[in-house]
């Protein structure tokens, strides 16, 4: 194709068809490079060609006159070498000069498609690589990469185990005969197919760890107690916690239970049901306790017990004899060590009638105005029905409000009663009971005062001795543990441990009960074994039958019996404020 001609008849520069960078390069070469005659090899100019014949006019016509061809030009160096010059064919005509492809108008107008095809091939290859990487990432995220690699590598389920590390790393290992794979298996977010399950199942069965149990670690078992540590009943909570902690300290020094230390976490409910709801939630949700032991009080148990049962959590050894913890059949997760209030009041009513000669209608009940008082009163009414051939008759009940020392209304009703009262069964806290005795002792010098064990024997004695020996002398308290000054085996162990871990603290009936309840729970934990959970502990406790702790009474639990002891002991204060054992039968 010929070059275009301008208006003067001269041919235009073919480089006009070239890209801008080629044209700019040509201009720079023409300005900066010397003429071909100044080159180090001048023989390679067009004047240096042999005289055999002139070059083709047509070729010369297509070459711009100002364009120079040096070694740095677009013509390949091999075309201008001396060797190429000597290899020219021997003919009358000189071979035509070859124009650089970048300056050829035909090349510029219709370039070859090889480079474009190569670029497209590279783009397609990149897309394939990106898709492969994306697929690999997706398989890895869904946990199916091991099985896909298995298929690619040709491994079969007979000689291959797939184990996923906790960190998400994927590993394929060959199983050795007779050896189990030690890598733990982790469930993926996508449901595995049957082939994957066939591979993973042997590994999971060999290495799967037991589920995490609330309040139980490799080194510790955490238990909670909700009780009053402030307020009018604070001594009860303090002493109960002290006894349980003494038992725990003793076992911890001996190495714990199956290598685990026992820890007791306490929360103060102030002997108020509303606060008990908060403390139970705090112990369960925040402190993550395994179960509850030694909770103090009946009105607080009204709230605490349903909370524990709804969560199927152990509720063991509460310091209360209320009937709501003693259902028939028993609640699976509730265990009691002590005798009930009904058993205590029944024993003392029979003692008053048979041993002291008091007629049933001469017995009144001084009771706290809540579930605790109701439970004690129910026990008295049951005993009265038994003594009267099924007719309980009229029983005078003298109420007072919980956490209050206001007993004036009770005293006024006692004085207004027509039938003379000779004995009062008291179902209250130690300070309220002491206040009632203080205000009635002078009015009824021969009155017999009896209290159930919850009163807090030591605290009551202290309160009465502050008033004077005559207020303390003759006051009866029923107990659910032997006398603290006895030489029973468990009592001696308790005193030794108490002196070791809490030197200077005197033995007390409430802390002794806490020690017994704590020791009984430890026996159940031993029997439950190392792989502990609530269900195993319940089953283990139900195997405790005819267990001799050295109390003078055997302890027994069972599927239909969740109260370990039914024994009631009798004690009576003397003028020195000390308790003496009395026979209730």
Q: Is 159 exposed, middle or buried (0-12, 13-18, 19+ CB in 10 A)?
A: exposed
pLDDT at 408: 95
Point out the residues of the chain with pLDDT beneath 50.
1-3, 6, 9, 29-30, 32-92, 146-147, 149-151, 153-208
Q: Which residues of 340-363 are buried (b: 16+ CB within 10 A; e: fewer)?
A: bbbbbbbbbbebbbeeeebebbbb
Q: What is the pLDDT of residue 143?
A: 53
| Residue 40, phi-psi category: left (phi > 0), alpha (psi -120 to 50), beta (remainder) | alpha
CB atoms under 10 Å from CB of 274, counted, come to 10
From residue 378, give the alpha-carbon distance in Å to each of 321, 322, 392, 393, 584.
12, 10, 11, 13, 20
Distances in whole angstroms, Cα of residue 396 to Cα of each of 347, 436, 528: 19, 15, 48
DSSP tag of 285: I
For residue 320, give the 3-state DSSP assignment. coil
- For residue 78 the two structure tokens come to 């091999």
Q: Which two tokens stand for residue 255?
A: 């190495």
Residues making up the chain, counted from first to last: 585
Q: Which residues pair with 423 in a beta bridge?
A: 363, 448
Count of helices and strands (H, E) across the chain: 19, 14
Secondary structure element (H or E) that encloses residue 478, with its range: strand 476-479
Handedness of CA 403, 408, 414, 418 (dihedral sign): negative
Specify burial of residue 550 (Cβ count, 10 A radius: 0-12, 13-18, 19+). middle
33 vs 66, 101, 178, CA distance in Å?
12, 21, 83
Quick one: pLDDT at residue 19? Answer: 57
In this prediction, residue 278 carries a pLDDT of 97
> How high is the pLDDT of residue 74?
47
Phi, psi of 439 (to 5 degrees): -85, -10
3-class DSSP assignment, residue 314: strand
Cα(509)–Cα(481) distance, rounded to whole angstroms? 7
Residue 62 CA, chain-centre distance (Å), reads 89
The DSSP symbol for 183 reads P
* Per-residue tokens: 568: 């009631």
Q: Is residue 97 within 8 Å of 63, Cβ to Cβ?
A: yes
Q: Where in the chain is the domain with CATH 3.40.50.2300?
A: 220-339+487-541, 341-479
223: CB partners within 8 A, 6+ apart: 215, 262, 263, 264, 265, 289, 290, 291, 292, 293, 521
Q: What superfamily would CATH give domain 341-479?
A: Response regulator (3.40.50.2300)
21-67 tens-digit pLDDT: 555 655 554 454 444 444 444 444 444 444 444 444 444 444 444 44
21: burial class by Cβ within 10 Å (0-12, 13-18, 19+)?
exposed
DSSP string covering 522-575: HHHHHHH-SS--HHHHHHHHTT--SB--SSSS-B--BTTB-B-----EEEEE-T
Which of 255, 397, 376, 284 lies closest to 321, judged by CA? 376
* Residue labelled with tokens 């909570």: 237
Here the tokens at position 501 are 């871990």
206, 209, 211, 217 alpha-carbon torsion, rounded to 10° = 150
Helix (H, G, I), strand (E, B) or coil at 161: strand
Name the pTM for this structure. Answer: 0.64
Which residue, among 282, 253, 288, 251, has the nearest Cα to 268 in the 3D structure?
A: 282
Q: How far is CA 27 from CA 3, 66, 146, 580, in A?
A: 20, 10, 63, 127
> Three-state DSSP class for 293?
strand
Check residue 188 and give its pLDDT: 38
The third-level CATH classification (topology) of the domain covering 220-339+487-541 is: Rossmann fold (3.40.50)
3-state SS, residue 191: coil
């Amino acid at each position: 194709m010929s070059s275009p001609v301008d208006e003067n008849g001269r041919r235009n520069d073919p480089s006009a068809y070239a890209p801008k960078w080629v044209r700019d390069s040509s201009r720079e070469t023409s300005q900066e490079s010397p003429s071909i005659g100044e080159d180090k090899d001048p023989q390679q100019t067009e004047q240096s060609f042999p005289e055999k014949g002139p070059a083709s006019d047509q070729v010369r016509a297509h070459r711009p006159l100002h364009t120079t061809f040096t070694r740095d030009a677009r013509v390949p160096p091999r075309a201008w070498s001396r060797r190429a010059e000597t290899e020219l064919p021997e003919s009358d005509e000189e071979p035509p000069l070859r124009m650089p492809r970048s300056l050829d108008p035909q090349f510029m107008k219709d370039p070859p498609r090889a480079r474009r095809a190569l670029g497209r091939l590279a783009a397609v290859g990149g897309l394939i690589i990106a898709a492969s990487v994306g697929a690999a990432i997706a398989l890895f995220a869904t946990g199916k990469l091991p099985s896909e690699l298995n298929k690619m590598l040709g491994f079969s389920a007979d000689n291959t185990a797939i184990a996923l590390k906790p960190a998400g790393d994927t590993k394929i290992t060959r199983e050795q005969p007779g050896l189990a794979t030690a890598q733990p298996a982790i469930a993926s977010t996508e449901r595995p197919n049957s082939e994957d399950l066939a591979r993973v199942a042997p590994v999971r069965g060999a290495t799967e760890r037991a589920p995490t149990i609330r309040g139980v670690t490799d080194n510790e078992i955490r238990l909670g107690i909700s009780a009053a540590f402030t307020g009018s009943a604070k001594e009860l909570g303090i002493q109960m916690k002290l006894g349980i902690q003494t038992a725990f300290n003793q076992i911890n020094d001996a190495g714990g239970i199956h290598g685990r230390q026992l820890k007791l976490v306490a929360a103060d409910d102030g002997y108020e049901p509303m606060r008990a709801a908060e403390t139970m939630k705090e112990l369960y949700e925040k402190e993550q306790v395994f179960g509850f032991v030694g909770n103090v009080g009946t009105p607080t148990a009204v709230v605490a017990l349903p909370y524990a049962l709804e969560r199927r959590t152990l509720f063991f050894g509460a310091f209360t004899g209320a009937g709501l913890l003693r259902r028939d059949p028993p609640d699976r997760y509730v265990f009691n060590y002590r005798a009930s209030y009904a058993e205590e009041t029944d024993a003392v009513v029979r003692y008053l009638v048979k041993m002291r000669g008091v007629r049933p209608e001469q017995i009144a009940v001084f009771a706290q105005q809540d579930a605790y008082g109701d439970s004690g009163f129910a026990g008295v009414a049951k005993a009265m029905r038994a003594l009267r051939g099924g007719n309980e008759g009229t029983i005078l009940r003298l109420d007072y409000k919980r956490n209050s020392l206001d007993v004036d209304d009770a005293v006024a009703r006692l004085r207004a009663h027509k039938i003379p009262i000779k004995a009062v069964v008291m179902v209250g806290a130690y300070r309220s009971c002491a206040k009632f005795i203080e205000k009635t002792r002078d009015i009824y010098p021969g009155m017999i005062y009896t209290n159930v064990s919850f009163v807090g024997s030591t605290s009551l004695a202290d309160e009465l001795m502050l008033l004077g020996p005559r207020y303390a002398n003759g006051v009866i308290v029923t107990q659910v543990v032997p006398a603290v000054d006895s030489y029973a085996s468990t009592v001696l162990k308790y005193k030794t441990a108490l002196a070791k871990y809490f030197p200077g603290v005197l033995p007390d009936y409430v802390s002794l009960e806490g020690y017994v309840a704590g020791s009984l729970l430890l026996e159940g934990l031993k029997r439950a074994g190392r792989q502990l959970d609530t269900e195993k502990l319940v089953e283990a406790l139900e195997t405790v039958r005819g267990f001799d702790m050295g109390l003078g009474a055997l302890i027994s639990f069972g599927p239909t019996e969740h109260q370990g002891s039914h024994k009631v002991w009798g004690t009576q204060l003397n003028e020195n404020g000390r308790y003496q054992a009395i026979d209730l039968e």
